[in-house]
Amino acid sequence: MSNVAISKTVALSAIIILIMSGGCIQNGKETSERLELRLDVFPNPVYVGESTTMTALLENNAKKSYDNIKIGVFDPGQFGDINCPALVKKQLKPFGVADLTCSFTAPMLAEERVVYLGVSASFDSSLNAVQTVEIISEQEKKRRQMTGKMQTKPSTYTYEDESLSLTIEFSNNLPIVARPTEQYVYFTIRNKGDGLAKINSFHVSGLSMQCDIPSQFEPIKDEFQKIACKLAPSNVNYLSVENIIVNIGYTYEMRKTIPVRIVK
């Protein structure tokens, strides 16, 4: 093989290695920087009438703290009533863990089978967003158009954490032109995780607007009802830069089941 061919082979191998390693790093980051609920039962299998131990471990691999942690059994399945009081913890800091351990007795079944035990973990958190908005007067818009300096920005922006996403959508592309015609901004909250989301509070401040915020948020599949706000920009002589500040408080619940094999 010539030196040129060898060089090309080495270069191609290096590129493949870089792509593969980059992908591994990216995937690891996506899956690790969040709360993880892990379940274990030992011994498993377990003989009928004998005891076994279930451990539920909640790991915080994210870069923020979570409040009001609760871990408990939501579905004892065929194990019946399990004496397993829920674990309650005020806060779970980054790299912290919370664990629940319970012992229970395998039911007396007529034949061997696999049964399931359901465990839930819930926490309180918040999603916060700051959207900067430029407001210009009609005269400034005309001046920019005449000089060829009128540049528009997208009308839709998305903010998210590991559980929720927030989409902010303006009725027109930015900047906002201060005019008497009605203009709106819409807020849509979506559940992007595998668990159940409950919206506890929704606050918007900064730019003057009139919002129709529901007293209760009811999801349809993974999307909550859209919030419409009528913009009311004040008189602008030239231009003004404002912020739309959104704070969403929510409770999130994760659920997992673990199979337990009962033998005779």
Q: From first to last of its 264 residues, what are the pLDDT tens digits of the chain?
A: 444 444 444 343 443 333 333 332 223 333 457 899 999 999 999 999 999 999 999 999 999 999 999 999 999 988 888 889 999 999 999 999 999 999 999 999 989 999 999 999 999 999 999 999 999 998 999 999 999 999 999 999 999 999 999 999 999 999 999 888 889 999 999 999 999 999 999 999 999 899 999 999 999 999 999 999 999 776 777 888 999 999 999 999 999 999 999 999
With left for phi above 0 and alpha for psi between -120 and 50, is residue 139 left, alpha or beta?
alpha
Q: Which of the four CATH numbers 3.40.50.720, 3.40.50.1970, 3.40.50.20, 2.60.40.10 does domain 32-121+255-263 have?
A: 2.60.40.10
CA 227 to CA 28: how far, in whole Å? 35
Residue type, 225: Q
Question: Would you tell me how many other CB atoms lie within 10 Å of the CB of residue 179?
Answer: 11
Strands 196-206 and 184-191: unpaired
User: Look-up: residue for tokens 């819409």?
Assistant: 186
The answer to whether residues 253 and 107 touch, using CB atoms and an 8 Å cutoff, is: no
pTM for the full predicted model: 0.83
With vertex at residue 245, the alpha carbon angle to CA 242 and CA 246, rounded to the nearest 5 degrees, is: 150
CATH, range 125-252:
2.60.40
Where in the chain is CATH 2.60.40.10?
32-121+255-263
